[in-house]
Amino acid sequence: MAENPQSTGDPPEAEAGEATTIGKANIAGPANACIGFAFFVFFGLAGDMMFFAALVVLFFARQAGIHMDPRSHEMIGDWHPIMLPPIVYLNTAILLLSSLAMEFGRRNIFREIDVLEEWLGLGRPALRRTLPWVATTLALGVMFLTGQAIAWRQLTAQGFAFDHWSTPSSYFFYLVTGLHAAHLVLGVLALTVCLCALGWLRKVEFRQIAVDATAWYWHTLGLAWILLLAVLAVGQ
């Protein structure tokens, strides 16, 4: 008697269980990719925070520095505080708003109902919800950088230009804000790449990775700026 090649001898319940296992494996693949990439981003951001922490230590070490006055032969300090340009506080509010907008975008790209619709080929609702928030973050980031440039011009107008005549306090203001701005320029470039990637990436999990990594980098820059601003305000 010939055997039916289509029959495996397994009951329907076993076949259904096998299908469920395969489905879970297909879902676990992108999830594992997200987790692995998250670890990579975490270590990169930890390095960034260590860099800013070292900058804070250098700031206070220079502030406490003293030297001998050749006339009085006394140990004196040369740290003369400056008044921070008021626009830096407005810039801080803009950066916080941008971080909030980025978080809304990150949450929308992970909404389960929208993601499920994209997996089923019913459109791109998660993409439509995320794009405006990422674009808003980009616009606010550019506004923050513009505000920082205005703060530098205001400080220069007060007589504290970034040159060899700079006082230690004004020099460190330019150094701290300039290095943070350089990191933020990279963040703006990352946001631009993220916006482009959202348009041409086909798989939703890859778009999730792009938004998630960019969001964490942006949040880290916001946290670093709060720390640096507190140091500048209190240290000055």
For 102-126, how does the pLDDT look when each residue is reduced to its tens digit (9 = 90+)?
999 988 887 766 566 666 666 666 6
Alpha carbon separation from 188 to 13, 138, 177, 183, 215 (Å, rounded) = 52, 6, 16, 9, 11
Q: What amino acid occupies position 109?
A: I
Mean pLDDT of the 2-19 span: 44
Phi, psi of 75, rounded to the nearest 5 degrees: -80, 120
Q: Per-domain residue ranges for the chain? A: 18-67+85-235
Per-residue pLDDT for 183 more than 80? yes
Mean pLDDT of the 140-157 span: 94
Are 108 and 129 spatial neighbours (Cβ–Cβ below 8 Å)? yes
Least reliable range by pLDDT among 1-5, 72-76, 107-111, 208-212: 1-5
What was the pLDDT predicted at 15? 41
CATH topology for 18-67+85-235 is Four Helix Bundle (Hemerythrin (Met), subunit A) (1.20.120)
Mean pLDDT of the 201-214 span: 82
